[in-house]
């Protein structure tokens, strides 16, 4: 033994369970050497940390996935032993994460499921005259060890975006010719690479990633729709946002081996322009529908280098639904009513996109008139003006007047206007 081993205090422990297995995260006061191995009869995983200690009261709050309990003990020679008791045999994979904005050093122990869970996905329907269902992959951002942004009232991005994603999936599944696949349906972490793999395995026709924005100024508000940019970002704020969202892998925890594969995939992404044009087209339609239910921070699709949007052949957008850092919008994000209204608007935007750009052999290609885009309807709220509404939907005041046969610009609260196509 040459240099002294790294040793630390194990300060806290968290556990997460998902389809990829169970993840246990130990918070450390600094880097620590460790050795992990599995034992049977009963099944358990042992992690030895030479020279390290555990904070008093270090305990796992509840059983999670494969882990039923955590025991700690001091071994001769000043070695800390952590024992994870399991309800099934599992070979541990461990790695150390270095500090980031949110956390200090962490030791991650991943326990894959005993047998690889069979991937059960419905095969695309191929009834020839009806056309196949288009597949919409819905990605709730963050999850598990990575909470995303937080509101002053305690809302966490990972929770509100999952609620919206589930509502959107139900909307999509209720629509003729479409079916939804959720990237995650619980509180666990999924790497960027895995999110894209799920979309590819599902042969997604469209990928939508749902997030909530955050800014130090609590008055910042409104939704934004993003697509991948080939180079640079729309503006500095978009670049900073992409950097923050891309950091998820470091917060949620991806070992170096996974990162190398990620890089290899990104380098292969050479021919994205067709998917980028489609993403722009879809993003514009989403904005049009979202404008009826929420203020938009930007009325054009913004561009930034988001890792999760890097699928070369799948039209992909990322929606920042609202500012969780704005107390009013945080309350909206938590409200089931707002979540439902937003999910319905997103579904309409996706239908508009497929009606205009039907994939070959799909229901939308076989039934071109069935899903002709319905008109956007705007319900007049207090303070609405004709010019304000025109700007919001990027149409002229004159065309709104014409479509609705308005004799005057005076609007009544509750009045419903049909918004002409821009
Ligand atoms: Zn996010």
Quote the ligand 1 centre to 163 CA distance (angstroms).
14
Q: What is the pLDDT of residues 32-88, one digit of tens each?
A: 999 999 999 999 999 999 999 999 889 998 999 999 999 999 888 889 999 999 999
Quote the ligand 1 centre to 225 CA distance (angstroms).
13
Name the domain count of the chain.
3
Quote the ligand 1 centre to 248 CA distance (angstroms).
8
Residue 220 has pLDDT above 80, yes or no: yes
Angle between helix axes 336-356 and 273-290 (nearest 10 degrees) is 130
Read off the pLDDT band of 403 (50, 70, 90): confident
* Same domain (yes/no): 302, 390: no
CB neighbours of 52 closer than 8 A, spacing ≥ 6? Answer: 7, 8, 9, 10, 28, 32, 34, 79, 80
Q: What is the pLDDT of residues 114-154, one digit of tens each?
A: 765 555 555 555 555 789 999 999 999 999 999 999 999 99
Domain of 351, CATH number, reads 3.40.630.40
Domain, as residue range, for 250: 134-366
> Does the interface predicted TM-score (ipTM) exceed 0.95?
yes
Quote the ligand 1 centre to 32 CA distance (angstroms).
30
Residues around ligand 1, an ion, CB closer than 5 A:
141, 148, 211, 245
Domain of 390, CATH number, reads 3.10.350.10
Quote the ligand 1 centre to 55 CA distance (angstroms).
32
Q: Say if 322 falls within a structural domain.
A: yes
* Same domain (yes/no): 169, 66: no
pLDDT the model gives residue 261: 47
Quote the ligand 1 centre to 308 CA distance (angstroms).
11
Domain of 105, CATH number, reads 2.60.40.3500
* Same domain (yes/no): 281, 410: no
Give a three-class secondary structure readout of 73-130.
EEECCCEEEEEEEECCCCCCEEEEECCCCCCCCEEEEEECCCCCCCCCCCCCCCCCCC
Quote the ligand 1 centre to 283 CA distance (angstroms).
18
* Same domain (yes/no): 362, 394: no
* Same domain (yes/no): 338, 227: yes
Q: Say if 117 falls within a structural domain.
A: no
Quote the ligand 1 centre to 251 CA distance (angstroms).
12
- What mean pLDDT do residues 206-235 have? 88
Q: What is the pLDDT of residues 338-390, one digit of tens each?
A: 999 999 999 999 999 999 999 999 999 998 876 656 678 888 888 889 998 88
């Amino acid at each position: 033994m040459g240099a002294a081993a790294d040793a630390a205090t194990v300060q806290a422990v968290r556990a997460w369970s998902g389809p990829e297995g169970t993840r246990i995260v130990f918070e450390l006061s600094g880097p620590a050497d460790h050795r992990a191995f599995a034992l049977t009869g009963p099944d358990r995983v042992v992690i030895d940390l030479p020279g390290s200690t555990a904070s008093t009261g270090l305990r796992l709050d509840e059983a999670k996935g494969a882990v039923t309990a955590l025991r700690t003990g001091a071994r001769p020679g000043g070695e800390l032993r952590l024992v994870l008791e399991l309800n099934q045999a599992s070979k541990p994979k461990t790695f150390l994460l270095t500090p980031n904005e949110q956390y200090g050093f962490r030791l991650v122990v991943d326990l894959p499921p005993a047998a690889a869970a069979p991937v059960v996905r419905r095969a695309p329907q191929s009834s020839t005259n009806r056309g196949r269902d288009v597949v919409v992959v819905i990605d709730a951002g963050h999850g598990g060890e990575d909470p995303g942004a937080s509101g002053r009232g305690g809302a966490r991005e990972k929770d509100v975006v999952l609620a919206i994603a589930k509502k959107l999936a139900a909307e999509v599944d209720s629509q003729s010719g479409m079916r939804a696949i959720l990237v995650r349906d619980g509180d666990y972490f999924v790497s960027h690479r895995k999110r894209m793999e799920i979309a590819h395995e599902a042969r997604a026709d469209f990928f939508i990633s749902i997030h909530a924005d955050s800014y130090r100024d609590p008055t910042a508000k409104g939704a934004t729709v993003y697509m991948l940019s080939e180079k640079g970002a729309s503006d500095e704020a978009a670049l900073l946002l992409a950097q923050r969202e891309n950091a998820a892998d470091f917060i949620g925890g991806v070992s170096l081996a996974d990162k190398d594969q990620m890089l290899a995939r990104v380098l292969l992404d050479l021919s994205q322009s067709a998917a980028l044009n489609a993403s722009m087209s879809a993003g514009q339609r989403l904005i049009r529908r979202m404008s009826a239910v929420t203020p938009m921070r930007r009325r054009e699709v913004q561009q930034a280098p988001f890792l999760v949007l890097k699928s070369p052949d799948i039209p992909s957008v990322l929606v920042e639904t609202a500012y969780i850092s704005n107390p009013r919008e945080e309350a909206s994000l938590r409200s089931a009513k707002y979540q439902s209204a937003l999910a319905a608007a997103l579904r309409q935007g996706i239908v508009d996109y497929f009606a205009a750009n039907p994939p070959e052999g799909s229901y939308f290609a076989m039934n071109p008139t069935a899903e002709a885009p319905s008109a956007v309807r705007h319900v007049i709220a207090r303070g609405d003006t004709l010019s304000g509404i025109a700007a919001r939907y990027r149409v002229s005041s004159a065309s709104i007047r014409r479509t609705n046969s308005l004799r005057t610009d005076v609007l009544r609260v509750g009045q419903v206007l049909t918004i002409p196509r821009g």
